[in-house]
Amino acid sequence: MSGETGGGAFTLLSETETGRGFAARRGVLHTAHGDVQTPVFMPVGTQATVKTLEPRDLRDLRVQILLGNTYHLLLRPGNETMALAGGLHAFMGWDGPILTDSGGFQVFSLGKLRKITPDGVLFHSHLDGRLVTLGPRESMETQRILGSDVAMCFDECIPWPATREYAEKSVRTTIRWAERCKAEPHAPGQLLFGIVQGGVWRDLRETCGRELSRIGFDGYAVGGVSVGEPEDVLLRGIEDGVCALPRSSARYLMGVGDPIQLVEGVARGIDMFDCVMPTRHARNGSAFTRHGSIPVKAGRFARDFSPVEEGCDCYCCRHFTRAYVRHLLHAREILGERLLTLHNVHFFMRFMEDMRAALDAGTFAEFRAEAWRALRGA
């Protein structure tokens, strides 16, 4: 199906039916710093930087939109410094769109070091141990000061596994906090996305999605996946999360970056993704390729003078060999991590470009099948 729908923050250009009532989508997210073609992958810039890369690298790599982290930037450098800097775009020298997460996932990861209250979460800073409060008001204030193009509602991320009782209470909290986030002041032109929670229970995710839709947001995210659950449970969580969301709004799957999971997320109607995988894998010495990841740090590449990936036109593959990159990694030279990061981010951008092209050409089914064959041997 094709034809533009929307007219607000998101324009839905076309849909490709993928079975079981789902459709892969092509669209455009409209932000204050430019349009974003979807489906899209967002590299993570936790500390106002994508690790080892400069903004000009990101532009050369055709990165459309970055993710910044509210929790980390609140703690360091802090709101006062960020306000004096003129916001996150000016601070980091990036003039493209930025999405900021709410900080909810980072607080979730603190586990027993946090205490959930009706107004937010009390926790001790991992930097200096000071007691910090982060809730809807603080999260939205920080995101307003950061001036991101897309802000996220503060939510409670449900762990896996969790009891039904815990999940029910958590969903009520997420909905209540979403209402408070919408009532808080926003930066000029800033979009606000709600986050669907509900754990492994479809009815809870449906309830959360309906309530968020009733409140009304510029877009919606599926949260609480990729938190340690098996892949089949993750995929079911995506399906349950999108079922109650408006067709005309952007849908964002938080924290998912495995290439096959990107394909399967798109097949279930997801438009936006983020994950630390490209940069984290690079720091650990692994490269993504069209035929799966390879451990460049391994001994068998010590005298391999071929590029990291044959046929790849990224800067790393055009100029350097596996043997050289491996040498840098073992010598603990930062250039090794940088070159692999350049390659991995290039891989993800190219992968999403190819997926968008397949959707435009009506060949998404073939793209999906080939991805499974090449990356999973299926």
Q: Known catalytic residues?
A: 101, 274
Contacts of 213 (CB under 8 A, 6+ apart): 220, 244, 245, 246
Which burial class, exposed, middle or buried, applies to 289 when counting CB atoms under 10 A from its CB (0-12, 13-18, 19+)? buried
3-class DSSP state for residue 196?
strand
Q: Which residues of 4-33 are buried (b: 16+ CB within 10 A; e: fewer)?
A: eebeebbbbbbbbebeeebbbbbbbbbbbb
| Bridge partners of residue 124, in order along the sequence | 131
Based on its alpha-carbon atoms, the radius of gyration of the chain, rounded to whole angstroms, reads 20
Distance from C-alpha of 4 to C-alpha of 25, rounded to nearest angstrom: 11
Q: What is the DSSP letter of 154?
A: -
* Residue 349 identity: M
Phi-psi region of 75 (alpha: psi -120 to 50; beta: other; left: phi over 0): alpha
Q: Which two tokens stand for residue 327?
A: 């040498």
Q: Which two tokens stand for residue 335?
A: 């250039």
What are the distances in angstroms from CA 337 to CA 51, 174, 277, 283, 331? Answer: 9, 38, 13, 5, 11
